[in-house]
A and B are shown apart, each in its own frame.
Chain A
């Protein structure tokens, strides 16, 4: 079952006349009229009960996509269905069943944590009795209960973010939208937030998140879409995305006596050699074949190995590689 269906979704921002042609980092995505094509006919489906991650560099269009899904922005073209309802035309009904933590959002600083939760709960039509019950549970779960009557201007960034997540959960949403939920947070807050994302997902809440943090995506997401310049360039499980760059494995090797770069480059299984501090990074395709070959080579050339590390492809690297490849193909 699909919780979210997105088809041919595009968003073009019309820039005010003054700033046309200028602006930071917008040049690439500006079309001839000087508008910004922030999202460029993307399509994907999020299954019910899934944690779906949106990854991409700055200005890729992640926030714009979330804003269209949460009824903040009107799509220029295409459609978004949330549980069968149009995210723009039926936005109030859609908003009623979703929870949202916007990017770099704040709580009301002159309200206490408790007042923030009561306000939000009331706006979703949650009864007073139920509001109190939910707020108590959430505050305890998020380790904020002690500070519930303190104005949130006294909260740390991590506490603010935890409270924002409590606010998003006050209405028992079916889908949770999280725009960079752990970015810039202390380790403790990030950990609580990740745990809770998993916990709510296990209870059946569908989660759509964006993040820059590969580890977060790797740990949490069932599937990841990689977006760059407003286009989805890859959509797969974290494992498959890693496998995509399996050919980009590397061995870092350090010798005590002078081995020449050209000699290593000559080996058949070696794709590329980069010089690193006191050694070489050898880009290979297959760990086993290359190590055997290197050992052979070392025996023959009477060299001595000081140290050798294999380099597992990190999701981060996969991500960069895919983006690189995507922009070359453009």
Chain B
């Protein structure tokens, strides 16, 4: 008995551009479905506000560091709020198997989470920027292009970072929440938020530091890395982003099987 063959080239479906296009379709779905889920709202909106209040009230913070700190915290927390819950949430709700049997690879789904987290993070980090431009424009000289460069680089890096946070827990968004807090809060606390970037070596582990540096420059300060500092910052953020992305591709490929039980 013969087999009917499907010529591979005819399906044109595994190409880079088709998969890229499909990752945007997934991003659209992620945004529509997850923007108002409790874990996303708590981590993306509630935490930045609470932390902002806790870290600034009663302290005499310079307007510049107030804005850069708030932006850093917001973009970090919001752009890492959707990515980690997509996989566990879809496993829990039993939509994941249907999704992964669409003509896409797991990388496409992960990229979709990156884009949705990226957009969500950017939208929210614009709020402190706009507030700063309205209320503190007298005290700051803002170079919007530099700030936006920083937002884009950091949004990408943090969105990719978020994917790694959903590796350990397979189908319990609650566990993922706890795990992400355990990782994210220490990172925030070692970052130079609401202050000048000191030479504390610990701060340079945190990707937030490089974003803060860019925004500081964009708001009229100078970079701690000297005259071409912001290029270095952008480069490091990009490297962080691709590093995290690569790592998440590898790790999620391994844990995938555990998401399909019974």
Q: Given A72-B100, A109-B93, A124-B102, do A93 and B13 touch, yes or no (CB 8 Å)?
A: yes
Of the 9-residue stretches B3-11, B121-129, B159-167, which lies at the interface with chain A?
A: B3-11
The answer for the CA separation of A73 and B260 in the assembled complex, in Å, is 9
Contact with B along A60-76 (1 / 0, CB 8 A): 00010001001111100
The answer, yes or no, to whether A91 is at the interface (CB within 8 Å) is yes
A240 to chain B, nearest CB (A): 20
Nearest A residue (CB) for B97: A102
B30 to chain A, nearest CB (A): 11
The answer, yes or no, to whether A45 is at the interface (CB within 8 Å) is yes
Interface size of B as a range: 20 to 34
Contact with B along A87-98 (1 / 0, CB 8 A): 000111101111
The answer, yes or no, to whether A297 is at the interface (CB within 8 Å) is no
Contact with A along B25-42 (1 / 0, CB 8 A): 110010011000000000
The answer, yes or no, to whether A122 is at the interface (CB within 8 Å) is yes
Q: Given A72-B260, A73-B257, A111-B33, do A102 and B98 touch, yes or no (CB 8 Å)?
A: yes
Q: Which of A1, A81, A91, A125 contacts B18 (CB 8 A)?
A: A125
User: Could you tell me which residues of chain A, from 94 to 121, have a CB within 8 Å of some CB in chain B?
Assistant: 95-98, 100-102, 104-111, 119-120
Residues of A within 8 A of B260 (CB): 67, 72-73
Nearest A residue (CB) for B19: A92
Residues of B within 8 A of A42 (CB): none
Residues of A within 8 A of B32 (CB): 110-111
Q: Given A91-B105, A119-B25, do A105 and B97 touch, yes or no (CB 8 Å)?
A: yes
Residues of B within 8 A of A101 (CB): 98
A179 to chain B, nearest CB (A): 9
The answer for the CA separation of A72 and B94 in the assembled complex, in Å, is 14
User: Would B4 and A1 count as touching, CB distance under 8 A?
Assistant: yes
User: Would A120 and B102 count as touching, CB distance under 8 A?
Assistant: yes
User: Would A122 and B25 count as touching, CB distance under 8 A?
Assistant: yes
B244 to chain A, nearest CB (A): 24
Residues of A within 8 A of B18 (CB): 125
Q: Which of B1, B8, B95, B103 contacts A105 (CB 8 A)?
A: B95
Q: Given A110-B33, A164-B98, do A84 and B25 touch, yes or no (CB 8 Å)?
A: no
Q: Given A67-B260, A83-B6, do A92 and B101 touch, yes or no (CB 8 Å)?
A: no
User: Would A13 and B98 count as touching, CB distance under 8 A?
Assistant: no
Q: Given A5-B3, A104-B94, A107-B95, do A95 and B101 touch, yes or no (CB 8 Å)?
A: yes
The answer, yes or no, to whether B2 is at the interface (CB within 8 Å) is yes
Nearest B residue (CB) for A119: B29
Residues of B within 8 A of A119 (CB): 25, 29
